[in-house]
Amino acid sequence: MRYTPAGIPAVNLVLEHESQIVEMDTPRLVKLQLKAIAFGAQAEVLSRQGLDAVCEFHGFMASARNGKGVVFHIQDFSKT
């Protein structure tokens, strides 16, 4: 966890997803890694979660600050 210049807690993380879906009658394994960030109370709670925690996240996607790629901004989450 880190703090912004304004003193707001922030945590950067990478979310991983893995599932299987059927596409054109063929099973397909889907894997994804996505950069994410959380601020405030959400950052404080997330920083205490284990690396293997399984959670459901809610938020929005935006362009990364450097303009390359996207970042998922976590606004809420719950353990599943």
Closest CA to 41 of 76, 72, 12, 17: 76
Per-residue pLDDT band at 80 (split at 50, 70, 90): confident
pTM of this structure: 0.85
Domains and CATH numbers, the chain: 2-79 (2.40.50.140)
Residue 16 has pLDDT above 90, yes or no: yes
Task: Please provide the average confidence, as pLDDT, over all residues in the chain.
Answer: 94
